[in-house]
Amino acid sequence: MFRMFFQGNPFQQATRGLAKGSLVMGLLLIGFGMLVFILRDLFAFLAAGLFFLAGFSAIGYAIRLFIAQHKMKDDQGGYRKNVEIHYHDDNGL
């Protein structure tokens, strides 16, 4: 009854699938390596642009942190405008 669902050795099928995946991945890596080798100037400019953007982003984040730290240093008081604190006393009931 179960024989019609089982076709061949499952380990052999798994090995065949793994071999196919490895072959496709190897071909893709070789192709990407050739692309980088041929268009290395383009990839160098792309990498340089990425590092410039990351650098400017880090500088912007640092400036925002310095401004936030400066505002926190100036505002050390306990008073907050438009803030009211209410205590609910359950023991009085």
Per residue in 2-48, pLDDT (tens digit) is 555 556 677 778 888 899 999 999 999 999 999 889 999 998 999 99
Neighbours of 70 (CB within 10 A): 10
Neighbours of 4 (CB within 10 A): 6
| Per-residue pLDDT tens digits for 47-71 | 999 999 999 999 999 999 998 888 8
pTM: 0.48
